[in-house]
Chain A
């Protein structure tokens, strides 16, 4: 008697198996990262979780700005050229120890007049920060919210689920930056990334996809540690140092010949000394 019941059950099953509504995708601004992410960018209307790498130093900021800045910048751009009705407010909820440096961010294209920094005190529970993030998500003019430092407490998954639903309902972008312990916790996030290795020169940091819709991508993408212009300058400085080292190595490797002439016979190194 199983088969006659099947057609009755099937429509509801089919409804649950239908693919979810296609999400709007915002390019990350980093071509290599786009290639790794499902849809090719940050998903709108869903929680994106960024988990920190190895236990970081209190002063380590794990390239959060260089990862998010191109996207945040796009969200503040006018929807139509010359039209300034795009409200494009951004909210950043985090602790107050280190402040965002507004002149630098403004130079890199953010409108800091539409940037809200919500400072939660150390005494506040994680619920207070999450509540603030949820209020910002509900606000009609706020386009994106970044919540920093939601600890891996037992209630964190339910907090995240609530935030995810809020982002979904309001069709906003939401990034949550979490400590390394959170990697072991279940999460309702649409996309989870984790910072991992850093290259020796300190110019790039690795990013690994922990969870994403679609087939798994087991690859580590290197993204620049610093954003834009500084990265170029640092790369140039690195190249120059390498060139100097090679030059020095070439000098030391050169055979020391004795010249009969008094002036020419001295090696450049000896002259400097």
Chain B
């Protein structure tokens, strides 16, 4: 039982209305990557390309030889992936050779009342002869001799069969009993992914495209899984009809939307959630008549083996990268911030809150997520950060947890700074001398005396005092600024 053949049931072919059966049916084609996930060796007959034949010889050990279980799981997977009548009516046959698998499948299609499912019967010798298509011409004379099954033909003397019906009869029989290799045509997954859907009517609201979009994302991820790739960027494109209206004359016909993810992955749920969040923000200028999806950046992931266990339902926990991508898509890029620490004297220059950059964290986050061995070489940024933490630790312990990025000048009453009420200075001064490297940057050294102060209304504050000599009067002007907040 090392081969699996699959085909949709006949009644479905008729229901779809494409008679004769079009093997180019998009959903049928999209199923191929699903099969490839289970085994990379997918074939069709050279003359009839509407049957998938999956060679399981290389993967049977993963399943402890239980190919039937694999077939059942593949069937469930196909239906769970696209719950349509086509996937519900899939017929699978298993056997030791492609002929056997296909014959069982054909037998089920022909004689079973409800053929959908996995078939491992009848016995090889009891398979009907009409399932071997090269022997089509011999069926009638053989039936006249009372020979209707594989086993009966095989019992006849080989030289006689060869003389009467030619070499092809013996070869087919050998192939059917897995004594010889069957010539098949390999199915390969294309190198690039590009899907498109023509819409039945122009669409101006993207929510109308959700079903179509989700299906396309599923196709993309099936393709990624089949290529053993992960994607970091995908592009959506909507084509609009060219309008005569002058109002739309300047608008481009195509609207593009490039989605980047901080983590490379091939999970349809993650890609679809990100897509949805972006679509909620997007307004189409003109009604779209077609939608396209392209995989822009993909990376091979041959070192990472995806789990064969299906995810537990209801467990939809996201990784940090995927979550932040969506937060940025909805709240704006600048709303999601992470800090960068710098070696500087001025407190406001020691930190920089920057918008989260997906590309910077891609390596770290993905390394963490997949639990790959962590690179032992120390990241220079990490080393600088650690050094910074150690060096400034003692002083920093006394600094406030909140900082005003621009110090705020305080009112002064009776030579005391005021925040609601006059401040009481509890600790200080701590002197900081800020000297710029260039004249333009900071022409004169600035001296700040920092104090921890207490205001009955505003709590503990971090304030500083500067003294600037005033050239006009010859006196020094004292200014107080609020720079940090404790609490």
Residues of A with Cβ closer than 8 Å to B? 56-66, 69, 84-85, 87, 89, 98-108, 112-113, 115-121, 124, 128, 131-132, 135-136, 138-142, 170, 198, 201-202, 205, 225-230, 233-234, 237-238
Contacts and interface: CB of A to CB of B under 8 A. Distances in A.
Nearest to B277: A135
B392 A100 contact: no
B457 A99 contact: no
Interface in B303-353: 316-320, 322-324, 326-327, 330-331, 334-339, 341, 347, 350-351, 353
Among all A-B residue pairs, the 10 with the closest Cβ atoms: A61-B487, A107-B396, A140-B317, A202-B454, A101-B403, A57-B458, A104-B399, A65-B401, A229-B397, A139-B323
Contact of B335 (A108, A121, A202, A230): A121
Given A65-B487, A136-B323, A170-B317, A117 B341 contact: no
B326 A135 contact: yes
A138 B456 CA distance: 40
Interface in B388-418: 388-389, 392-394, 396-405
Given A107-B389, A132-B327, A142-B323, A230 B398 contact: yes
Main DSSP-derived SS at the B contact region: mixed
Given A103-B392, A139-B319, A202-B454, A59 B461 contact: yes
A224 to B, nearest CB: 10
Contacts of B347: 101, 103
Interface in B423-481: 424, 426-427, 452, 454-461
Contacts of A225: 459-460, 486-487
B419 interface: yes
Contact of B353 (A87, A103, A117, A198): A117
A59 B319 CA distance: 35
A237 B323 contact: no
Nearest to A225: B460
6 contacts: A98-B404, A107-B394, A117-B338, A117-B353, A141-B368, A226-B460
A135 B455 CA distance: 37
Contact of A233 (B427, B459, B485, B486): B427
Contact of A106 (B341, B356, B454): B341
Interface string B98-128: 0000000000000000000000000000000
B197 to A, nearest CB: 29
A64 B323 contact: no
B484 interface: yes
A116 B336 contact: yes
A202 B318 contact: no
B320 A128 contact: no
B371 interface: yes
A154 B404 CA distance: 32
A190 B191 CA distance: 54
B373 interface: no
A115 B397 CA distance: 18
Q: Residue among A103, A117, A225 with the most chain B CB within 10 A?
A: A103
Contacts of B339: 100, 102, 112-113, 115, 117
B385 interface: yes
A60 B458 contact: yes
B230 interface: no
B232 to A, nearest CB: 19
Nearest to A69: B401
